[in-house]
Structure 1
Amino acid sequence: MRVRFTKMQGAGNDFVVLDATSAPLPLDTAQLRRLGDRRFGVGADQILVVEPSPRQGVDFRYRIFNGASGAEVENCGNGARCFVRYVRSHGLTDRDTIRVETMNNLMELRQQPDGRVTVDMNRPIFDLARVPFDATGLQPREQNGFALWPLDLPDDRRARRSSGTRQVEVAVLSMGNPHAVLRVDNVNEAPVGELGPLIEVHPRFPRKVNVGFMQVQSRSRIGLRVFERDAGETLACGTGSCAAVVAGIRLGWLDAKVDVETRGGLLTIEWAGGAEDSVLMTGPAETVFEGEIEL
């Protein structure tokens, strides 16, 4: 079958966007992986599918598939910004503000006059069972009333001589998908490729976890790199940026509005800090090219 697609990017996080508003797109896992493959397909961190929503008052259904595995995932903030630009540029809506439903959430997306897009990412989730995170037997270190959880990781450097372990501290929360956030002294020198894969599949996270490495540069700016589930390090991660800022605010390191410097570009995250307050994310979204592919 021939499939029309649009390639988009938001802060370097790249996507293949598919229109399924008129008819379903019955793509299987192998076809989704082919789309996401950077050598044999189009190439993307995630594949976004635009569908009609069956719910009254909701404009679209927004489905997200991992470009490497083809598995459906819960949320993608950078993708949500591209979603807005896509449905407007393709004539699917003329609204500046739209509501979309994901696998487990409802989001409000708003295009700004300067072309950037603001996404209401809803409230962060701190209930460990909903992240999910298994804290059985662990004793956290509390800072500013928020928990930093110890994780034991295999120490590959010592494994040559013994079965040693090392320990890292992570803040744990969900932005509709699970996140573990580590503070580092220098984000450019952070061991993302070494620790990211170990934390991603740690048995304490039964559904795996996205791993953020955050350098606090000031109370209003951080540097961030994210090792994403089933994808590896990406140039940017919207939900990871939200999770890092929320964790930094809860831990007393950051103010309510923070610029997040990723390798792909700058995102702005705002959170007032209350239990009922949503996280707002603002950043760029651009079309790269359009085409067709035989699957």
Structure 2
Amino acid sequence: MSMSTITPVSQRNLKRHTSFGQSLRNSFTMAYRGLLKIRRTPEQLFDVTFQPIIFTLMFTYIFGGAISGSVQSYLPVIIPGILVQTVITTSVVTGVQLREDMDKGVFDRFKSLPIARIAPLAGALLADTIRYTIATVLTFAMGYVMGYRPAGHLDHVAIAGILVIVCSWAMSWIFAFFGVIARTASSVQGISMIILFPLTFLSNAFVPAQTMPKWLQWFVHINPISHLVTAVRNLANSGTIGSDFAISLMGAAVVVAIFAPLTVRAYMRRT
């Protein structure tokens, strides 16, 4: 029997019986690959570097006086809202880049390597947490420059940032699923925006819910983005952890429980 017939079979068996530890190491290696891509093409970070700055300036100075009477009094309202809106929107990139890599045949090349099949997908999701962290830090930093002084102090601000990163990572599983099943990267982005625009703008992120029509308030109150924004505001502005914090974490767990298996199953079929 020739080596050409042995090698593919042995490679498939190696992938199929890869241990959890090996899969984890492979995933971190793929995550490092994602970070190298960012270092070589830093323009990939434009959305997480410029968006927090532009959105914070724009929304604060346009709506601050009309909604809260002044910019300073609006900052405790808008900074948590901008943070959630920016980081959640950033999670769309996971699905878009995943689809682009699949279209370019990158994942086909990975199949020839003796690594866990799940590693490229898991690595992409891990690497994008760096993007969420950058967006979180920049949003709070921009708010501080503009005069925002969270009463919750650094420890509760850090918890708020971690909460947003965890929830965004959970949301990235949804967009990763679209990245696997969609035909093009542009369709992934289009579908994702259709989902995110109602969730982010029909929430309490920018204006209080009570200023909206009664028929719209019911959606704002059940919107998971509203719960996340309220949890961040409670942590950053008053240093308290309430029911919205628990609801946000439970929502993130439910999203992962549903979409992680769906994404992995679809990914395994496609690769």
Task: Assess same fold via TM > 0.5.
Answer: no
With normalisation by structure 1, the TM-score equals 0.25
Higher RCO (CA < 8 A, seq sep 6+): 2
With normalisation by structure 2, the TM-score equals 0.26
Specify which structure has the higher proportion of helix: 2
Structure whose alpha-carbon radius of gyration is higher: 2
